């Protein structure tokens, strides 16, 4: 798993600036925002407690709109079923950076420091994404060394996978809180800066086009914030 300093260094600075209002190609923000970025980026190690748990579970079958795992688990999503078609196992994971950063954001808001809160909240979102990206990439490298491959990762609430299926995903980790993360009654996660999801592990010799499948390429919603491929024209 990534060390704290590695997470801070791995953040895409240009993407961070664009998230904070810079125009693509210019990557410029005000001097005040630059100071806040430097301040809060430097304080990340004291504010985050990264944790990630995962389980690799056998995939029994996929149909047009269902993914059936061992343990009598089932996920309902046509796009997820298409993504995992050909996989032999599924990696289920839950990751978080803890509640410390979220608490500091609330403290900033309580003291009318909304600009600080906004910059810090944006950093928190990028840090937890970096944590999960590194986990996914590490698995991809391990699988590649064995002649295997991994699919795109999916999270409940994205594309056509219902958010309520967080319940089924979290059930894969038993009755205890996965990585210290708890589901609310509306299936949101607490702490907020957490990510849950799955990706498939494909067997040796699988056709590369199966691993490369990306439903975003056929999606006609260009403004989707979770887009991972250009919109269809």
Domain 4-218: assigned CATH number: 3.40.109.40
Do 198 and 75 form a contact (C-beta atoms < 8 A)?
Answer: yes
Alpha helices in the chain (DSSP H): 4-10, 13-19, 31-47, 78-84, 100-110, 114-145, 166-170, 208-211
Q: How far apart are alpha carbons 99 and 106 in whole angstroms?
A: 11
pLDDT digits (tens, 9 = 90+) for 8-62: 777 888 888 888 887 766 678 888 999 999 999 999 999 999 999 999 999 999 9
Q: Which of 37, 57, 48, 41 is nearest to 2 (CA)?
A: 48
In a structure prediction context, what are the per-residue pLDDT tens digits for the chain, which is 233 residues long? 556 567 777 788 888 888 888 776 667 888 899 999 999 999 999 999 999 999 999 999 998 899 999 988 999 999 999 999 889 999 999 999 999 999 999 999 999 999 999 999 999 999 999 999 999 999 999 999 999 999 999 999 988 999 999 999 999 998 778 889 999 999 999 999 999 999 999 998 765 555 566 665 666 666 555 555 554 45
3-class secondary-structure state, position 143: helix
The verdict on pTM exceeding 0.75 is: yes
Q: What is the sign of the dihedral through the CA atoms of 3, 34, 28 and 112? A: positive
- What's the full length of the chain, in residues? 233
Long-range contacts of 36-44 (CB under 8 A, 24+ apart): 36/115, 36/116, 36/119, 36/120, 37/119, 37/123, 39/116, 40/116, 40/119, 40/120, 40/123, 41/8, 41/11, 41/123, 44/4, 44/7, 44/8, 44/101, 44/123, 44/127
Residue 217, number of CB atoms within 10 A of its CB: 13
User: Which structure tokens are listed for 204?
Assistant: 């040796």
- Domain residues of the chain, as ranges? 4-218
């Amino acid at each position: 798993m990534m060390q704290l300093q590695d997470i801070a260094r791995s953040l895409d600075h240009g993407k961070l600036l664009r998230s904070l209002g810079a125009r693509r190609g210019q990557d410029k923000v005000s001097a005040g925002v630059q100071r806040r970025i430097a301040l809060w980026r430097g304080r990340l190690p004291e504010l985050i407690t990264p944790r990630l748990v995962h389980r690799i579970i056998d995939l029994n079958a996929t149909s047009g709109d269902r993914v059936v795992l061992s343990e009598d688990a089932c996920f309902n999503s046509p796009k997820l079923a298409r993504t995992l078609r050909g996989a032999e196992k599924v990696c289920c994971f839950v990751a978080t950076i803890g509640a410390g950063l979220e608490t500091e954001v609330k403290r900033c808001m309580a003291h009318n420091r909304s600009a600080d809160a906004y910059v810090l909240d944006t950093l928190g979102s990028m840090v937890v994404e970096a944590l999960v990206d590194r986990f996914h990439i590490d698995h991809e490298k391990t699988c590649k060394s064995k002649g295997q491959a991994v699919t795109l990762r999916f999270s409940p609430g994205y594309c056509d996978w219902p958010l309520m299926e967080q319940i089924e995903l979290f059930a894969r980790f038993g009755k205890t809180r996965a990585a210290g993360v708890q589901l609310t009654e509306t299936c949101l996660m607490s702490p907020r800066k957490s990510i849950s999801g799955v990706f498939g592990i494909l067997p040796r010799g699988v056709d590369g086009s199966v691993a490369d499948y990306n439903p975003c390429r056929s999606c006609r919603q260009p403004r989707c914030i979770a887009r991972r491929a250009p919109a269809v024209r």
